[in-house]
Structure 1
Amino acid sequence: MPKHPWWRSTTSSDRGCMRAKPWCSLLLPTLIAALTLTAAAAADATIAEVEQSFLTYPYGDPSPLAQFGRIYPYTRSDGGSAVGAMRSWKLVRLENDWLVVWVAPGIGGKIWGARDKVSGRDFIYHNPVVKFRDVGLRGPWTAGGIEFNFGIIGHAPSCAAPVDYALARDPDGGVRCTVGALDLPSRTRWRVEIRLPRDQAAITTAASWENPTPYHQSCYQWMTAAAEAADDLTMLHPGDHYLEHGGIAHPWPVDAEGRDLSAYRANAFGPDKSY
């Protein structure tokens, strides 16, 4: 009986290959699966610097004098323009088969946005405009993304300023963008490593903060993430209380009036809120 190659088509007269048919049926799916896994293994995450244009509302010129007090030796800018103009901003784009993440080193190093490629939806709010408003300790601040704050209590002096950054590719196929800066009032150095693995629909961050001075200092670090709000939005936070800015505790998620504050639509009362 002649030996036939396993890929040869079978016919009713080709009895040799007919006997090999069960073996062929098992081998083909195995080979296809192996090829699929090989292709997936080759799909490393990518990282690149890109230019993106945004309608930008600039802030006023900074004071020529340093601001004495908590933010010394920084200056401060008051006011923002009500008229926007298109401006190109440098972003760092991290991408794998599932996610695209943008980092803005020129605006505090914040994660500007993140998108699920499968659904096409942003799960971290990607603000379509850069609109600076007087919210930060030095004045300018922008909404959206994930903001990094180190040092003084409040939106840190670096939250809308250019920061240092570095790009890296890992041996396992993941990519990293590390952002950081020197905080002048405390003379401390902070950095955040933003990593996108090759084979996960997840972003990880690793923050480090160094005090190179000989002095003990109080530390305050926080991150705030933005998601697009809609009436069906539900905010899931552990714990049974929340704190106001002034440090006063209130019940969570059901307040003293019986309102379930975890439902976004239930918050349509009173002034702006911070939970």
Structure 2
Amino acid sequence: MATTVRRTSITLPAAHLGEENPLPALRTPADPHQVHERDRAGLPADMARQIGYAPLRSLLPVRRLDGYDRHRTPTDLDAIVIENDRLRATVLPGLGGRVYSLVHKSTGRELLYRNPVLQPADFGLAGAWFSGGIEWNIGATGHTTLCCAPVHAARVPAPDGGEMLRLWEWERLRDLPFQVDLWLPEDAEFLLVGVRIRNPHHRPAPVYWWSNTAVTESPDTRVIVPAEEAWHFGYQRSLRRVPVPRWQGADRTYPVRGERPADYFYEVPDSARKWIAALDGEGHGLVQTSTDQLRGRKLFLWGNGPASQRWQRWLTEPGTDGYIEIQAGLARTQLEHLRMEPVSELSWLEAYGPLSTDPDAAHGTDWTAARDAVARGLEAALPRSYVEEAYRAWLASADTEPREILAAGSGWGALEVLHGRFKLPGTPFDEATLGEEQRPWVELLHNGRLPTGSLDVPPGPTLVAAHWRELLETAQADALVEYHLGVAQWHAGDRAQAVRSWERSLKAAESCWVVRCLAVADAESGHPKRAAERYLRAFALAVESGQGDTVLGALAREAVPALLAAGRAEDAETMLGALAPGVRRRGRFRLLAAQVLLALGDVSGARGVFDAGFEVDDLAEGEETLSETWFAVAERLVAGSGPVTETVRSRARAQHPVPDAYAFQPE
């Protein structure tokens, strides 16, 4: 059959994603992918330099997506299918362009881990993320802010004259447009993927890319890669060079032999072909390869500990398969960002397809023989020279304009093109995609002012790039302009000036938005009592101005911990009581309620919250709040009216272990 690209839909049990958090994300996001400064001295010079290059200061201008839940209902999702007589790939343009499924038609094998549900969890840079398939991670260390967002999609002529699917968007953390072209040459058993990132600005930009492929984990799954060493990262802020395959008494290329979550970043020699494969006990599985620009290869495994297994179940349904991730990136590790020169582009070609090899060789004790067997099988199925030729042919098609738009992304790219007058052949950011969120900024660009508006209504997202900050600085000042300017200055690191802008906004018109920003500034600068006062005032203003549950819930989520830190437990209790019942029933607020009861001295009441049961929908990767609160309650139960000593802590942990339902942290 000829290669086709067609629209369809799939139905999955899916949780509701909810609304974006309307409060600008002023705090530096928590990042479990950190390396102690003292440990960087022992790393290769380029790796150490790139680990320290351009760390993410904030999520701005992106807003957090933390309003999702865990109540799944059958949901129709837009999908695009690319198919020839050998493979069928299903792509979800409304969810970051994720390749949800890749089926080898002659055997019926699913080559990816295909999650049977869509269940968001707080693993993404902006919050919501879901597991499975192939995702395209651009921006900064972690899962892209676009993983639950729509991207543009279109039908485009493929290099071989067939049809190709083009995905593109504007990555807002680094202000860079990118495209992902997917096609299946006729009779090909490999999905070809051309990727291009462009820096249209007259300044360098940090760049990050990792293609993340989830594959099913079985007891005999082995990950094979052309490397004899790897950098191990165990989420304890250190990188160490380890041998491959055996380390600490076990063959670590079998993910089930790991105890805890871990990353293995492989040292693939510069001259070697770049590939990584995951094969089952019979020698069947998926292989990913690329041109040499995509130099990094990685294995992520959950480990077989109880907390790791709990996370796996959290992301899908009990009784379903576990998964691992095999990944490919621009740098050796995901902790690094590269410098992209002004007015330049990066591009490469990837290929994904089935691989079958001699199981005795693939699973033998001779690591060199295992690698050689996979390398020979890959070369026979997809020669390295073919990949290079396909890359050159694709480059000639990368600027081809789309034939038919299949899905629409955001309007932010159109706004940036309008401002910068960029010419980006092949990826049209049409002005027709501009929407209500972009409208005030179009007004600022064309007329030097923001539309007159009241801060009694949500002010919408703030743009923080230098060129927008400069327009705000010269705009006619009012409460709204000063609010947005303060957010942009905060993002730029000029916190003192940000506070002054917010104070000027308050003089013009008091609003919950600005008072909350000042509360964050107080908390960040070590003034907890003042921060508490301002959070109380911000919440009161939100109530007075008729803000809805989304705003009040977002404020309370920040304010209650700040009030507890300032010793204002009674005020925290009152604030929680002012929320709508549906908000108070959410797991995050049940956890806050337990913390408030504990601070008020009602230890049995706090324990009762846990005994009644709740789920923190947006529990973050690496977050210890749940277990910390449980043990704080247990310690008070054991200590009674006495002090909490080390002996009490030990007894509390022994007598009151974390129940399975709350066991997300490894012991």
Common fold: TM-score over 0.5 = yes
Code of the residue aligned with 1:110 in structure 2: it is: R
Q: Deviations over 1:40-76 (max 9, x none)?
A: xxx2111101011111022343211221342201110
Q: May I ask how many residue pairs the two structures share in their alignment?
A: 231
Give 1:92-171 correspondences, 5 Å limit: 92-170=80-158
Give 1:1-275 correspondences, 5 Å limit: 43-68=1-26, 69-78=57-66, 80-170=68-158, 172=160, 174-239=162-227, 240-244=229-233, 246=237, 248-267=239-258, 269=259, 271-275=260-264
Rounded to whole Å, the distance in 1 between the matches of 2:187 and 2:246 is 41
Change over 3 Å in CA distance of 1:171–1:60 after alignment to 2? closer
Alpha-carbon contact 1:242-1:251 (below 8 Å) kept:
yes
Rounded to whole Å, the distance in 2 between the matches of 1:164 and 1:46 is 19
Change over 3 Å in CA distance of 1:73–1:237 after alignment to 2? same
Code of the residue aligned with 1:253 in structure 2: it is: V
Change over 3 Å in CA distance of 1:60–1:250 after alignment to 2? farther
Secondary structure in structure 1 of the residue aligned to 2:256: helix
**Deviation of the 1:171 alpha carbon:** 7.3
Rounded to whole Å, the distance in 2 between the matches of 1:241 and 1:257 is 13
Alpha-carbon contact 1:242-1:250 (below 8 Å) kept:
yes
Alpha-carbon contact 2:158-2:183 (below 8 Å) kept:
no
Alpha-carbon contact 2:232-2:242 (below 8 Å) kept:
no
Task: Normalising by structure 2, report the TM-score.
Answer: 0.33
Alpha-carbon contact 2:244-2:253 (below 8 Å) kept:
yes
Rounded to whole Å, the distance in 2 between the matches of 1:171 and 1:152 is 31
Q: Which runs of 5+ in 1 are unaligned?
A: 1-42
Rounded to whole Å, the distance in 2 between the matches of 1:204 and 1:258 is 38
Change over 3 Å in CA distance of 1:168–1:188 after alignment to 2? same
Rounded to whole Å, the distance in 2 between the matches of 1:227 and 1:173 is 31
Q: Deviations over 1:6-56 (max 9, x none)?
A: xxxxxxxxxxxxxxxxxxxxxxxxxxxxxxxxxxxxx21111010111110
**Deviation of the 1:213 alpha carbon:** 1.5
**Deviation of the 1:169 alpha carbon:** 4.3
Alpha-carbon contact 1:132-1:141 (below 8 Å) kept:
yes
**Deviation of the 1:175 alpha carbon:** 2.7
**Deviation of the 1:131 alpha carbon:** 1.2
Rounded to whole Å, the distance in 1 between the matches of 2:158 and 2:60 is 39
How much is the aligned-residue C-alpha RMSD, in angstroms?
1.8
**Deviation of the 1:77 alpha carbon:** 2.1
Task: Normalising by structure 1, report the TM-score.
Answer: 0.79
Q: Deviations over 1:181-237 (max 9, x none)?
A: 101222110111111111211111111001112211121111110111111111112
Single out whichever of 122-131 and 82-91 deviates more from structure 2. Answer: 122-131
Q: Which runs of 5+ in 2 are unaligned?
A: 27-56, 265-667
**Deviation of the 1:127 alpha carbon:** 1.9
Rounded to whole Å, the distance in 1 between the matches of 2:118 and 2:163 is 26
Secondary structure in structure 2 of the residue aligned to 1:197: coil
Q: Deviations over 1:240-271 (max 9, x none)?
A: 1134264602314335412101113322x2x2
Code of the residue aligned with 2:241 in structure 1: it is: H
Alpha-carbon contact 1:45-1:96 (below 8 Å) kept:
yes
Rounded to whole Å, the distance in 1 between the matches of 2:169 and 2:232 is 29
**Deviation of the 1:90 alpha carbon:** 0.6
Runs (4 or more) in structure 1 with deviation over 4 Å come to none
Rounded to whole Å, the distance in 1 between the matches of 2:201 and 2:68 is 36
Greater per-residue strand proportion: 1
Change over 3 Å in CA distance of 1:148–1:217 after alignment to 2? same
**Deviation of the 1:79 alpha carbon:** 5.5
Rounded to whole Å, the distance in 1 between the matches of 2:220 and 2:125 is 33
Give aligned-pair identity as a percent: 26
Greater per-residue helix proportion: 2
